Chains A and B, each alone.
Chain A
Amino acid sequence: MDLNETSEESTFRAEARAWLEANVPTSPLPSFDTEEGFALHRVWEKKLYEGRWSAVSWPVEYGGRNADYIKWLIFEEEYYRAGAPGRVNQNGIFLLGPTIMEVGTEEQKAKFLPSMASSEIVWGQAWSEPNAGSDLAGIRSKATRDGNEWILNGQKIWASRAVWADWCFGIFRTDPTADRHRGLTFILCPLDLPGITVRPIAQLDGDTGFAEIFFDDVRVPLANTLGEENKGWGVAMATAGFERGVSLRSPARFSEAVNRLIHLWRTYADPTDTALSDAVTDVWMQAEGYRLHTYQTVTGMLEGRAIGAEASLNKIFWSEMDVRIHEIALQILGPESERMEGPFERWVDGFLFSLSGPIYAGTNEIQRNIIADRVLQLPKGM
């Protein structure tokens, strides 16, 4: 055990810090869930890519730096420290990208990864359906073979970033006789094809961060299949494991939020209110605990241990922590917490967004079931 950085890690950190200090926009960009903000975030991603900072953990040939997980965490710490913009192509770079590297063909890697790293193509996720939410295996949207093409039909919902994204990655039923998680295929699809209708859904904060996607006889080449036909569930779960496990919410995000919370507490709170100072200390410990836990997980991965259902523990932990951080901030803000615009809007907006955490990427109740089944070995059953 050595929790000090190596000199190589420190050099990497210094390089990232210097680049970010020189390049991060001086004033915050509008939300990437607005048309203007989406375009500006795409420009920012291009700049990151040109500095080779958009996908540091990727191989050099696809635009990355071949950084190991520790360095990825260091980059994230510097990224949040610098107050850099949100990652509009997160679905691509952190979810789909690693999956393509794991199961994609060489042609798919060459075609999709560089344009993903540069955000020339921004990806939306198309998994859930009106009747397949927590019960994701209940997917009904189908893909039917016709020569060298799939014909896609059905409806997806809660497709993040789909309003302005260029492509989506979806799961479709390809074997109508197969049950549940069998007979599904993972398919990549441009969002500007004939037969596609994207209908934005306004979120709690009014922005359209997700959408419904309707597929009406949409034709895509069979070459857009990721992984094996009828094995899409396994491909999707590999993506979901990585999402919940490490990449979706890096610890730096919460360490940064708690640092801002402590600043808020010092500036506005009554220091003799011990219930409040205890609460602030408690979320500091949670963020620090999450950071330490992640470094431990990542060291294990580097030493060859697989991450499994622990990913579900992470997902519950960070999502509940995020809500708690924002609840405490609103408590400190008092009457200011009622305003959607003004000097503290980031906290109010952050509170609304935090409430989505326990729901998306598999609700926390589903995660608790997964932990009970796979870690605690409790019997299956609802």
Chain B
Amino acid sequence: MKFSFTDDQRLFAEGLRDLLSNECTPAHVREAWENHTGHIPQLWTRLSEMGVLSMLVSESAGGMGGTLIDAILLFQELGRAGVPGPVLEHMAVAAPALANTSWGPSLVDGSQIATLWVDNIPYVAHAQVANLVLRNEAVITGFSTSDAHGIDGGRQLFTISGGTETSASAEVFGLPASDVMALASAAYLIGASERMIEVAAEYARQREQFGKPIGSFQAVKHLMSDALLKVEFAKAPTYRAAWSASTGAATAARDISMAKALASEAAYRASRSTMQVHGGIGYTWEADLQLWMKKSWALMRAYGDATFHRRRVGASVLSK
């Protein structure tokens, strides 16, 4: 029994954090929101060069040959930076699922962009910047898009129409795309939550009222500690879910659901508490906090919300 990451896994995640601290600052994310693409082309290129986009693609297909354990800390780092665009969809599902099709090479090197339409919902995130959309049984190309005005500027939402369908599988490591995305989103939400808490802690150290930093008040300390508690206790279940998914464990679906339920609730708590700590500034467009809050509010319900996933866990553990 060994519940830890290897040095290589940690170092790769640190490398990604370094890259994102330069290429995906809040200013970059804002620009992607405000130009209505929800996408940073320069960042996409760098993620491709680093091997992030092809992390889960086999080496024989030109990828990094990583497992979901190798990828889970990367999803978390993407969340810390609030990375916009179809990075999760492309990296976690589309590239590995389609690696051995004619689309494979261009998805592996990132020259084409894929997004997903996996749930039974009317909207497709990131469709405008995507060359192709992977559904459960098909790839759609040549579609047209209509803006559905998503709340998260880094996850632009569309309806799509027309286009050509080609049959294809959306399974990765024997798991349906929705499960892989639930796992990736759980890790992303943990990263986003950590960042919201850091940003709010920094604000609480600086902002003074009654002649003292507000972070010295117990009401603020306890709000922040409780938010951190939920995030910290969502981590191990999320890493375990990555292990279960990577090893084909019989409990993989249950474990992924546990991770997504806990991470979704942790992220919502983090968003509420950190906004409260910011006071009026937290309710402004100007505060960067919204970059992670709105991502959290989108992803906590995408790919199954906490109630859906809790009941899937319940169906597994409460039945005789």
Contact = CB atoms under 8 A, between A and B. Distances in A.
A266 interface: yes
A372 B215 contact: yes
B232 A281 contact: no
Interface in B209-235: 212-213, 215-218, 220-222, 224-226, 228-229, 232-235
A interface majority secondary structure: helix
A274 B308 CA distance: 12
Nearest to A367: B225
A373 B225 CA distance: 10
Nearest to A284: B317
A310 B216 CA distance: 20
- Interface-central residue, A9, A70, A295, A298, by most chain B CB under 10 Å: A295
B171 to A, nearest CB: 23
A317 B229 contact: yes
B258 interface: yes
Contacts of A31: none
B4 interface: yes
Nearest to B236: A292
Instruction: Identify whether the interface residues of B are mostly helix, strand, loop, or mixed.
Output: helix
Contacts of A265: 318
A67 interface: no
A292 B310 contact: no
Interface residue tally of chain A, by bracket?
35 or more
Given A284-B317, A368-B225, A3 B212 contact: no
Given A281-B311, A381-B212, 16 more contacts: A1-B69, A2-B2, A6-B1, A278-B307, A289-B258, A293-B235, A299-B3, A313-B229, A367-B225, A368-B221, A369-B218, A372-B222, A372-B224, A375-B225, A377-B201, A379-B213
Interface of A: 1-6, 9, 70, 262, 265-266, 274, 277-278, 280-282, 284-286, 288-290, 292-293, 295-296, 298-300, 303, 310, 313, 316-317, 365, 367-369, 371-373, 375-382
Interchain residue pairs A-B with the least CB separation, the first 5: A381-B216, A372-B221, A281-B314, A378-B215, A292-B236
24 contacts: A1-B4, A1-B5, A1-B239, A3-B3, A70-B1, A262-B318, A278-B314, A280-B314, A282-B310, A285-B258, A285-B310, A289-B233, A290-B233, A293-B235, A296-B4, A298-B3, A367-B225, A368-B221, A368-B225, A368-B226, A369-B218, A373-B221, A378-B204, A379-B205
